[in-house]
Amino acid sequence: MKPTFMGASTKQGYDIAARSREIVRSLIDEKTKDLTAEEKSIVERIVHSTADPEYADITCMSNDFVLRGLEAVSQGKDILTDISMVKAGINRYTGDVKCYINHEKTIELAGNTEVTRAAAAIEVAASEGFDGVVVIGNAPTALWKVMKMVETGSMNVSAVIGVPVGFVGAAESKKALGETSIPHLVTQGPKGGTPVAVAAINSLINISKNQ
């Protein structure tokens, strides 16, 4: 049986995915020529998932992102997402994928402190002993909270995929993450969102399975 690629599991699906990969590579090969094989695979999957070659220009990874991310998923560490939709898109992972956005503690904390539920959810995750990879596709406030909690030593994070989408705080939060020592993947500017976050983490999981 041919190996799966980008979610394909049948011959027809694999053929379509393989053709898509050829098209993606023809569009971005020049832009990704200086990346490692793993980094290139992640960017290819993001471009494939969004049908937007610009992501090859705006996706940035710290030098240790792939190493630290692969270590974490290979060890089955937890994955934490900012919203349920991102969690639903993560597949083929044998570890736990967690999201606290609808947790009763999150709702209570957000109501008492007037922070966003997304930010409160990060606090709850930390209080529950989270240790692993954080994947944020929508909430800049969650990304700010992760950075603050890592800085104060109150949260264990192996790597962060920080790709919140939007025009209020998204670009700023990603720029700030890029200036930290946290192993990270970000997209510059307002672009990002659930498809990008899911593509990045699923690509990391797929690489770990094929090592």
- Catalytic choice (48, 117, 184, 191): 48
> How many C-beta atoms lie closer than 10 Å to residue 118's C-beta?
23
Give the span between the Cα atoms of 17 and 160, in whole angstroms. Answer: 27
Note if 184 is an active site residue: no
Structural element, H or E, at residue 38: helix 37-50
Question: What is the sign, positive or negative, of the torsion defined by CA atoms of 101, 102, 103, 107?
Answer: positive
**135 pairs with which residues across the strands?**
81, 161
> How many C-beta atoms lie closer than 10 Å to residue 46's C-beta?
27
Could you tell me which residues come within 8 angstroms of residue 111 by beta carbon, excluding any fewer than 6 positions away? none
8 A C-beta contact, residue 162 and residue 185: yes
- Positions annotated as catalytic residues are 48
